[in-house]
Structure 1
């Protein structure tokens, strides 16, 4: 029997499905991909995109072409509402899309609370192509101005973005004051050795760090901290945390307190077995997972296998998240910080290893000639 499969979002966790759509289409099932953009940018290489280490073509997947080349329908848009009882999705334009099985990989967003409507040159870290816009803004101004560049966020993204900014300035032989607003504590959940390496990397790059005083309000050209201090900026990168959209909670689907779609070990909704999900938009019921790229990448083949099983009646595979994973931070200038359990080191080799892993992942799923696209 022909089944209607819908993929909402073309992110990391859907790439194996997209690459192997013939397994669905050849069995006479229909597949529809709904995505707000024709390309999906790989977040793991986002700081390198900002810094100019990578061209845009090297860090993105042409998800529209992946879908259409394999016989799927592509809809440029975003799912705004789910009617699970009717098995219907509604887009922002109220287009009605029926499904038998749907999978969500809609990612996350940076909360914009506390940002004035008048604030200009503020770039949330997601979507990733915002970083390209920020880079172009800086390049347009760096030759004629002594820029004040700010990064808000004390996690790994904030560290990497600050290093990327310094790389832009150094490459252009420009002048800029860069400040990282790290909230209560820079990399607060990491081992002390990793934090010490991060402080050293920032110091080496003449990046000031503000801790113990969270950013509270962001206005046009200046921000205000919880202690009432004001700091001026010309360009600000916002990386103070992420959360899923209001889509699932607003549609009455079971979620975690942050609004992430609550899924079981098969990456299915705990209430609606025809609804699946992966990446930052979900909450794994057995154990909430850190928002790191390794999990969407590893959910990738599991979603593919289980979506096939859902339409053929086969047995599903459980997703078994690893407790220990590798993180490598790109701190700019061709250097990195390596962290896995108690093994922590830094230097050029760390960046080379990260670069190798990232490029290998891109080669696996860049199947539409992306590196050769025009700007």
Structure 2
């Protein structure tokens, strides 16, 4: 029985997991590996921080999704791939074989600026975040812990919140942290964004102006002119020597693809992403496919945004099944301009597409409708789609 192994149960694998009954009916075995029983949708993570959503509203019960449809779910993390032996090595040491492997291992926020001071004496740049008040933007579950910490601290007094980063994720986290601090009689928080360069420097000027207007209205300061050098002992240290004391610190300094592929000796891009062709197939190993943030699409660079993982779903499903059955593959067309909406907290959003940009409640309502529809589409009781 040919075995399809899904390394990661993320956005790009949703259609494949929905089609497990069809794959099993055709004689294929399907196994999925995920670090937890639920997978969190990154597009709704800032809204969870700001109180719009509960964790169960923005996550997929991936174990149930796989097992209820006839697949096998393994709760573990992928450590390495051995393509010569056709096995995936897990953190537990278990080795899982495959005939065809699809990777949706996501991305992570580099924490090289973090110097952790903990009771065991472990510290230094790159150490794991040990402080109860330092939160990377990924994994998304961290934003729920951050929300609880903000509530805990603001019960007694106003707090200072520092957000390291100048991109869309940093903007959304800053806006939603500000909202979280004002909930349930909280004493609020003073939020600072440490961008180094210009805030949203890769975004259209109209979007930047809209974001700046909202930040100024809320008293959120943008600290430009010097990049973050380190985070330690409740302080953000900049390269220019200035230090800023913070009660809660968020790390939103961009993302990098999973390190698994470089560690496995696969052909990767400069940042470690799995190099794939127009069919989402590994350049070096044709029985390995991938989608989402963990890949580098060779035909043209793709932004690390969830819309591409969603668009890859039907192509990835077709090509995995076709490769198992010896049929021809389809090319992935990334499509044109995509709708970009930022959730900036307080029921407000900023929308941009094809030169049109506006802010307010309407963008948030549109984003909320689209995101909830995506979640609902792939829940266990949703009908599978045939492609």
1:290 matched residue in structure 2 = 303
Q: Does 1:176 align with 2:189?
A: yes
Shift of 1:145: 2.5
Once the two structures are superposed, what CA deviation does each residue of 1:275-311 show, in whole Å capped at 9, x if it has no partner?
0000000000111111111100101111111111111
User: How far 1:23 moved relative to its partner?
Assistant: 1.4
CA contact (8 A) 1:142 1:172 kept: no
- The equivalent residue for 1:138 is 150
For the 8 Å contact 2:64–2:380, the answer to whether it is kept is no
Tell me the secondary structure at the aligned position of residue 333 of structure 1: coil
Match status 1:267 vs 2:266: no
Match of 2:12 in 1: 13
Equivalent residue, structure 1, for 2:100? 101
Residue of structure 1 in register with 2:205 after alignment: 192
Preserved CA contact (<8 Å) 1:65 1:368: no
Work out whether residues 161 and 189 of structure 2, in 8 Å CA contact, stay in contact via their aligned partners in 1. Answer: yes
Is residue 124 from structure 1 mapped to residue 123 from structure 2 by the alignment? no
Alpha-carbon distance in 2 for matches of 1:22, 1:183: 50
**Partners in 1 of 2:340 and 2:51 — Cα distance?**
21
Q: Helix, strand or coil for the counterpart of 1:182? A: strand
Distance 2:233 2:310 in 1: 37
Kept in 2: contact 1:150–1:235 (CA 8 A): yes
Q: Which residue of 1 aligns with 2:159?
A: 147
- 1:255 pairs with 2:254: no
How many Å separate the matches in 2 of 1:146 and 1:194?
30
* 8 A Cα contact 1:222 1:230, kept in partner: yes
Deviations 1:165-184 (A, max 9, x none): 11112223323211111221
Pairing partner for 2:254 from 201, 226, 241: 241
2:53 is the counterpart of 1:49: no
- Corresponding position: 1:164 with 2:163: no
Tell me whether 274-283 or 347-356 shows the greater mean CA deviation.
Answer: 347-356
Q: Residue 74 of structure 1 corresponds to which residue in structure 2?
A: 73
In structure 1, how many angstroms separate the alpha carbons of the residues matched to 2:42 and 2:366? 17
Residue by residue over 1:8-45, the C-alpha shift from the partner in whole angstroms, topping out at 9 and shown as x without a partner, is: 00000000001110111112211111111110000000
Once the two structures are superposed, what CA deviation does each residue of 1:180-239 show, in whole Å capped at 9, x if it has no partner?
A: 112211000111111000001111111111112111100021010011110011111111
Count of residues paired in the alignment: 368
- In structure 2, what is the Cα distance between the partners aligned to 1:97 and 1:175? 49
Match of 1:373 in 2: none
Q: Deviations over 1:234-293 (max 9, x none)?
A: 111111110012210111100000000000011010111110000000000111111111
Structure-2 separation of matches of 1:88 and 1:332: 44
TM-score, normalised to structure 2's length? 0.93
Structure 1 runs not aligned, ≥5 long? 370-375
User: Is 1:223 paired with 2:251?
Assistant: no
**Alpha-carbon separation, structure 2, partners of 1:183 and 1:358:** 31
Deviates further, 99-108 or 87-96: 87-96
Asked if the contact 2:196–2:228 (Cα under 8 Å) also holds between the matched residues in 1, the reply is: yes
Cα drift, residue 62 of structure 1: 0.4
CA distance in structure 2 between the aligned counterparts of 1:301 and 1:49, rounded to whole angstroms: 28
Q: For 2:372, what is the secondary structure of its paired residue? A: helix
Q: Which residue of 1 aligns with 2:127?
A: none
Alpha-carbon deviation of 1:368? Answer: 5.3
